[in-house]
Amino acid sequence: MYLPSAFAEDRLEVRHGLMRAHPLATLILADADGVTADLIPFMLYDGEGATGLGVLRAHVARANPLWRKLESGARCLVLFQGPESYISPTWYATKRTTHKVVPTWNYAVVQARGDGRVVDDAAWLRRQLDDLTASQEGRMPGPWKPADAPADFLAANMKAIVGIEIPIDSLVGKWKVSQNRLEADRHGVVEGLQAQSNPEMAELVAERIVKE
């Protein structure tokens, strides 16, 4: 990934925060048959792994040929896409003085890499299902949990899935949030994003103004 130093996000807690907030990630694999890209919801276990970067766990349908590629420990790239937005040059203060402005796109993204493995173990899968469900159902007024389903129904469904585990050995964060613009332009971007009802990206731009 092209990563100018101004856009690098080195704080582990910030990168982990994006991964938790946007768990539906793209798992990219390359082998002799070509390149595949699959959307999969991942759970991050930040207290585990040898590198201190955490471990990713997920599951896929047993009918999905994806997991076969991981049986021999394939190299994995997992892309977590955070907030993104088109940035209009009309938001820049510079437009009113020099007119030397062009559109761009702001975004935040994390790339995790590691050697994946397949886990076909009922206890492991149940933990992964419980953790993933709890992470999403916790915001619901009446949270659902796997134990609410009939035991035989749940057991049958668990037989139809396979686990994936990826200890992270590389974690790169890129926050392209107008750091390369003058401060007056960046304030204009915040106002423009707020007017476009994109508070998440507006907050990311504003945070970097304060930080610097």
Model confidence pLDDT, tens digit, residues 68-111: 999 877 899 999 999 999 999 999 999 889 988 899 999 999 99
Is 194 a residue whose pLDDT tops 90?
A: yes
What domains can you pick out in the chain, each with its CATH number?
A: 5-211 (2.30.110.10)
Amino acid identity at 134: A
Amino acid identity at 75: R
End-to-end Cα distance, the chain: 24
Q: Where are the beta strands (DSSP E) in 120-168?
A: 161-167
Mean pLDDT for 48-60 is 95
Model confidence pLDDT, tens digit, residues 141-164: 999 999 999 999 999 999 999 999
Distances (CA, A) of 163 to 43, 80, 92, 123, 131: 12, 19, 48, 11, 13
Q: How confident is the model at residue 212 (pLDDT cuts 50, 70, 90)?
A: low
Q: Which of 20, 21, 38 is nearest to 29 (CA)?
A: 38
Q: Give me the percent of the chain exceeding a pLDDT of 90.
A: 87
Is residue 132 within 8 Å of residue 125, measured between CB atoms? no
Q: What's this model's pTM, rounded to 2 decimal places?
A: 0.93
Burial class of 204 by CB neighbour count within 10 A (0 to 12, 13 to 18, 19+)? buried
Handedness of CA 189, 192, 194, 199 (dihedral sign): negative
